[in-house]
């Protein structure tokens, strides 16, 4: 049996901690019943939506399937989210759950890029 040095440079301990924090903070990521894949035009990228039953927490996950930099359109036209005031409507912004800033959604979607060399996964909370 090989023992691991979890503090050795290059480990993914902090990355796993970040993903686990995001999972704990988003109820949509704590269940398996509500998942829907999005039609991304790039076959090297998959994207899916998970949401709570009341649509107050809607999360988009984008995953690179290859090691190449990809740029693509993320379609969000029919994705709905419930605001704090209770109204249901289309996504107007995506909040980056890893880095924090929110970006406006235009034309029912967003142009994104993913660089798997730096991070193979994008995580966004849908906002209204």
* CATH number of the domain that residue 86 is part of: 2.60.40.1180
Number of folded domains in the chain? 1
Confidence of residue 115 (pLDDT cuts 50, 70, 90): very high
Neighbours of 122 (CB within 10 A): 21
> Residue written as tokens 């209204």?
128
For residue 51, the SS3 value is: strand
The answer to whether residue 5 sits within a structural domain is no
Residue 65, domain extent = 13-127
pLDDT value at residue 5: 78
> Residue written as tokens 């509500």?
34
The answer to whether residue 103 sits within a structural domain is yes
Q: How far apart are CA 70 and CA 85, in angstroms?
A: 37
Q: What is the mean pLDDT of residues 105-126?
A: 95
Q: How far apart are CA 55 and CA 28, in angstroms?
A: 9
Assessment of whether the complete model's pTM goes beyond 0.75: yes
Confidence of residue 7 (pLDDT cuts 50, 70, 90): confident
Q: What is the mean pLDDT of residues 50-60?
A: 96
Q: What is the mean pLDDT of residues 40-68?
A: 96
């Amino acid at each position: 049996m090989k023992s691991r040095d979890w503090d050795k440079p290059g480990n993914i301990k902090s990355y796993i901690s970040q993903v686990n924090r995001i999972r704990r903070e988003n109820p949509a990521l704590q269940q398996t019943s509500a998942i829907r894949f999005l039609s991304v035009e790039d076959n090297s990228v998959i994207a899916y939506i998970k949401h709570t039953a009341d649509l107050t927490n809607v999360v988009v996950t984008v995953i690179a399937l290859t090691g190449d930099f990809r740029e693509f359109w993320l379609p969000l036209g029919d994705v709905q989210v419930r605001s704090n005031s209770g109204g249901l409507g289309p996504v107007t912004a995506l909040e980056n759950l890893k880095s924090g800033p929110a970006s406006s959604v235009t034309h029912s979607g967003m142009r994104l890029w993913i660089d798997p060399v730096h991070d193979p996964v994008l995580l966004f909370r849908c906002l209204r």
